[in-house]
Structure 1
Amino acid sequence: MCHPAWARARVTAQRLDDLARMRRVRDRIDREYARPLDVLALARGADIAAGLLSREFRTAYGDSPYGYLLSRRAERARTLLLHGVRTEGQPA
């Protein structure tokens, strides 16, 4: 029989692995927010089921992956509206 502390350590290690996976998904959304992304594509990239991704992401960040993506896009649009779109050769 395994010592109870070992079981807790295994559970803690698994939780840390899950959080690291969710951080990688969040980082991908932050990098690729302008591209077409959906929960299935994110789940495939993280090598987990879409439902599990949604549940774990919501647990980690308080929002669904799609909700986080929409928030990121809205934030970028707000920034562009406030500061305008600058092109090369245009004064700052």
Structure 2
Amino acid sequence: MCHPGWTRALTAAQHLSDLARLRRVRDRIDREYARPLNVEALAREADMPPAHLSRQFRLAYGASPDRYLTARRVERAATLLRSGDLTLTEVASAVGCSSQDTFATRFTELVGMPPTAYRRHAAEQVPGTVRNREAPAAVPHLA
């Protein structure tokens, strides 16, 4: 029979192991968001059942792996749209979306406006970084 302290220690060790595997899954999504990724493949790599991975990932990061991947793709797409150099089809492809329609739907859900409106809005903004209350350049004191 197991001692209760051992059970707690084993449970804590398993929890830490799960967190490390979840971090590796999140890091892979962050690195490879443009590649085809699915929960089954991520779960195999993490040596976890897919349902367990999804549950634990949601608890740890506030979103399922699929939702996290979609958010990462939309985040990157927003950056590409602000640059204005690529067509919408090229942006969708660059972030790993095979369908421009699906891309536009997900983008609109997360950003609150379609990619075309987002690009137009971004183009109307002042280009470059705007610094608030930047200190004036120091004038050298000449003696």
TM-score by length of 1: 0.83
Map residues 1-92 of structure 1 onto 2, 5 A cutoff.
1-85=1-85
> How far off its partner does 1:83 sit?
3.1
CA distance, structure 2, for counterparts of residue 60 and residue 2 of structure 1:
29
Pick the structure with greater CA Rg.
2
Select between 61-70 and 75-84 the one with higher mean Cα deviation. 75-84
TM normalised by structure 2 equals 0.55
How much has 1:28 moved relative to structure 2? 0.6
For 1:78, what is the secondary structure of its paired residue?
Answer: helix
The number of residue pairs the alignment matches comes to 86
2:73 aligned counterpart, secondary structure: helix
Partner amino acid, structure 2, of 1:80: L
After TM superposition, the runs of 4+ consecutive aligned structure 1 residues lying more than 4 A away are none
Higher relative contact order (CA 8 A, sep 6+): 1
- Structure with a larger share of its residues in helix: 1
- 1:5 is displaced (CA, Å) by 2.5
Which is further off, 44-53 or 25-34? Answer: 44-53
Instruction: Provide the C-alpha distance between the structure 1 equivalents of 2:15 and 2:31, rounded to a whole number of angstroms.
Output: 24
Overall identity of the aligned pairs, in %: 66
Residue aligned with 1:41, SS: helix
Q: Which consecutive unaligned segments of at least 5 residues does structure 1 have?
A: 87-92
The 1-side partners of 2:25 and 2:50 are apart by: 12
